[in-house]
């Protein structure tokens, strides 16, 4: 098996497509991507691990929802650049929308084929749910969606709302109104998520950054950023 994996040109393709297929029914459930480490983890753990391009990290399918994928078999295509996983889907939903398969919309008819499992959706964090909704709203009718209309207006409108909500949050804190503080903080967080979504930055990356800083003093962290910035500036000028 190791000889087969070595055929993959990871320098040419840092990420390769990985198709998850139900090992009994043959139904294609989803397509994700793997880097070398994700593939090795999948082989070692016998559960599907992928590399998230939006989160920019390896994730185990079902790490939050519990809907893991038990790997029954793995195939590689003739060009050695695509993986096919034969899997058993735990929880019967592979898609973050709560559907069994990610492929549920018919392009010809526009029909949506599968029902949504609200129980499956409930297992995702609110920030993850909102991020996916914001991504979906990019294709929505601006006249029927606030997020779609905001995204259509572009950077200035989005950032104006972030600044506006930040100001209202500050006034609420200054007024010591607990209910308004929570309300305005939620408004601010929502519009920050819209700005992140517009740039295709998953909120999980913010969590990762905060986790990196945990246990590091504020002054040390700022000095570290200054050193990193100085290094980048030096590299650009050289």
Kindly report the CATH number assigned to the domain that includes residue 43. Answer: 3.10.20.810
> What pLDDT is stored for residue 222 in this prediction?
57
Residue 129 lies inside a defined structural domain of this protein: no
Q: Is 83 exposed, middle or buried (0-12, 13-18, 19+ CB in 10 A)?
A: buried
Q: Whole-model pTM above 0.75? A: no
Same domain, 10 and 102: yes
Residue 128 lies inside a defined structural domain of this protein: no
> What pLDDT is stored for residue 221 in this prediction?
53
Q: Residue 186: which domain range? A: 135-237
> What pLDDT is stored for residue 227 in this prediction?
58
Q: In angstroms, rounded to a whole number, what is the distance separating the alpha carbons of residues 41 and 58?
A: 9
> What pLDDT is stored for residue 19 in this prediction?
97
Same domain, 92 and 145: no
Same domain, 24 and 101: yes
> What pLDDT is stored for residue 47 in this prediction?
97
N- to C-terminal Cα separation, the chain = 44
Same domain, 164 and 64: no
Same domain, 12 and 112: yes
Residue 184 lies inside a defined structural domain of this protein: yes
Give pLDDT tens digits for 166-189: 999 999 999 999 999 999 999 999
Per-residue confidence in pLDDT tens, the chain, 238 aa: 566 778 898 988 899 999 999 999 999 999 999 999 999 999 999 999 999 998 999 999 998 888 899 999 999 999 999 999 999 999 878 888 888 899 988 888 888 776 776 666 666 788 888 998 899 899 889 999 999 999 999 999 999 999 999 999 999 999 999 999 999 999 999 999 999 999 999 999 999 998 888 876 555 655 665 556 556 555 655 5
> What pLDDT is stored for residue 236 in this prediction?
59
Residue 130 lies inside a defined structural domain of this protein: no
> What pLDDT is stored for residue 126 in this prediction?
86
- Whether the Cβ atoms of residue 120 and residue 67 lie closer than 8 Å to each other: yes
Residue 85 lies inside a defined structural domain of this protein: yes
Same domain, 203 and 228: yes
Give pLDDT tens digits for 33-49: 999 999 999 999 999 99
> What pLDDT is stored for residue 166 in this prediction?
97
Same domain, 77 and 29: yes
Name the residue among 56, 72, 93, 65 with its Cα closest to residue 24: 72
Same domain, 107 and 145: no
Residue 38 lies inside a defined structural domain of this protein: yes
Domain harbouring 156, CATH code? 1.10.287.1080
Q: How many CA atoms lie within 13 A of 24 on its CB side?
A: 4
Residue 113 lies inside a defined structural domain of this protein: yes
Same domain, 163 and 110: no
Same domain, 78 and 158: no
| Number of domains making up the chain | 2
Q: In angstroms, rounded to a whole number, what is the distance separating the alpha carbons of residues 40 and 110?
A: 38
Strands (DSSP E) contained in 35-186 are: 49-52, 57-60, 69-76, 83-89
Same domain, 35 and 100: yes
């Amino acid at each position: 098996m190791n000889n087969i994996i070595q055929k993959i040109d990871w320098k040419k393709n840092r990420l390769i497509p990985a198709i998850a297929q139900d090992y009994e029914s043959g139904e294609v459930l989803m397509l994700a991507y793997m880097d070398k480490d994700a593939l090795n983890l999948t082989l070692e753990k016998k559960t599907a691990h992928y590399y998230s391009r939006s989160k920019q990290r390896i994730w185990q399918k079902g790490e939050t929802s519990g809907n893991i994928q038990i790997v029954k078999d793995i195939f590689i295509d003739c060009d050695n650049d695509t993986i096919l996983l034969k899997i058993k889907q735990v929880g019967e939903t592979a898609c973050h929308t709560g559907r069994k398969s990610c492929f549920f919309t018919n392009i010809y008819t526009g029909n949506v084929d599968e029902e949504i499992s609200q129980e499956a959706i409930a297992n995702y964090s609110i920030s993850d749910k909102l991020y996916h909704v914001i991504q979906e709203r990019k294709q929505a009718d601006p006249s029927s969606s606030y997020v779609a209309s905001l995204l259509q207006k572009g950077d200035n409108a989005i950032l104006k709302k972030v600044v506006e909500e930040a100001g209202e949050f500050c006034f609420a804190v200054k007024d010591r109104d607990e209910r308004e503080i929570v309300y305005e903080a939620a408004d601010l967080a929502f519009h920050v998520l819209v700005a992140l979504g517009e740039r295709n930055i998953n909120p999980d990356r913010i969590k990762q950054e905060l986790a990196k800083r945990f246990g590091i003093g504020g002054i040390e962290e700022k000095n570290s950023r200054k050193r990193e910035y100085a290094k980048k500036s030096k590299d650009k000028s050289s």
